[in-house]
């Protein structure tokens, strides 16, 4: 069972360093449609996936738990992540190994109507490193839900990607969307740091 929220988010990296057997890497929605040539390409997705790959390789080398989250669209009128398309597949940069868990979701929150919480309990994880896409949608929703469930969360800001958004007549650049959402998560919901910082804390 995850601990209660008594683990302060600001201490999350120290918690990772001190209890490596209780940390899990959660890679969210790094799927082909978000990459160049897909139906919803994101700004900075290739750099984000490269950083996610670095963490994935480290976790594999240390034999630490890894969970891949894959979105399958069920919403009427959806144009990406459609079932039985190449776009819905997890990108080869971070493609799961046969023994790694893949959680299928249909909502931004990776815990909603999935087995993610039960899987994390099974591997006795108390601390999560979250990365993937999109920053303003599934990364935000998943991290907030994980915090509310008592997990100590770390988000690798340079292993996440998003897109520009428009509200009424204002277009917000992808970099601004990313920065705003990382700032909102930082300090309370998660320790938001770089991939390099995370890797330096690991053996």
Higher pLDDT, 201 or 175: 175
Q: How do residues 119-136 score in pLDDT, each as one tens digit?
A: 999 999 999 999 999 999
Query: How confident is the model at residue 57, as a pLDDT?
Result: 98
d(CA 190, CA 144): 8
User: Is the model's pLDDT at 11 over the cut of 80?
Assistant: no
Q: Nearest CA to 154 among 134, 182, 123?
A: 182
Q: How do residues 56-83 score in pLDDT, each as one tens digit?
A: 999 999 999 999 999 999 999 999 999 9
Query: How confident is the model at residue 19, as a pLDDT?
Result: 47
- Per-residue pLDDT averaged across 97-123, rounded? 97
Q: How do residues 27-44 score in pLDDT, each as one tens digit?
A: 999 999 999 999 999 999
- Residue ranges per domain, the chain? 9-200
Query: How confident is the model at residue 21, as a pLDDT?
Result: 55
Q: Where are the beta strands (DSSP E) in the chain?
A: 23-28, 66-71, 101-105, 127-133, 152-161, 165-167, 170-172, 191-193
Contact call for residues 196 and 54 (beta carbons, < 8 A): no
Per-residue b/e over 106-117, b at no fewer than 16 CB within 10 Å? Answer: eebbbbeebebb
Q: What is the pTM of this model?
A: 0.91
d(CA 151, CA 1): 9
Sign of CA dihedral 179, 182, 187, 188: positive
Query: How confident is the model at residue 10, as a pLDDT?
Result: 43
The CATH class given to the 9-200 domain equals: alpha beta
d(CA 105, CA 69): 7
């Amino acid at each position: 069972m995850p601990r209660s929220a008594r683990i302060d988010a600001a201490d999350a990296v120290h918690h990772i360093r001190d209890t490596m057997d209780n940390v899990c890497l959660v890679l969210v929605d790094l799927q082909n449609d978000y990459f160049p040539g897909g139906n919803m390409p994101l700004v900075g997705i290739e750099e984000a996936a490269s950083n996610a790959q670095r963490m994935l390789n480290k976790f594999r080398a240390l034999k630490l738990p890894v969970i891949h989250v894959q979105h399958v669209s069920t919403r009427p009128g959806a144009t990406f992540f459609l079932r039985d398309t190449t776009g819905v597949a997890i990108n080869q940069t971070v493609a799961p190994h046969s023994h790694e868990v893949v959680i299928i979701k249909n909502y931004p929150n990776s815990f909603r109507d999935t087995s993610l919480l039960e899987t994390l309990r099974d591997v006795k994880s108390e601390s999560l490193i979250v990365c993937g896409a999109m920053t303003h949608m599934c990364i935000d929703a998943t991290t907030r839900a994980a915090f509310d469930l008592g997990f100590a969360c770390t988000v690798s800001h340079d292993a996440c990607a998003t897109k520009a958004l428009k509200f009424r007549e204002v277009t917000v650049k992808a970099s601004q969307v990313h920065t705003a959402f990382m700032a909102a998560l930082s300090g309370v919901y998660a320790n938001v740091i770089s991939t390099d910082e995370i890797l330096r804390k690991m053996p």
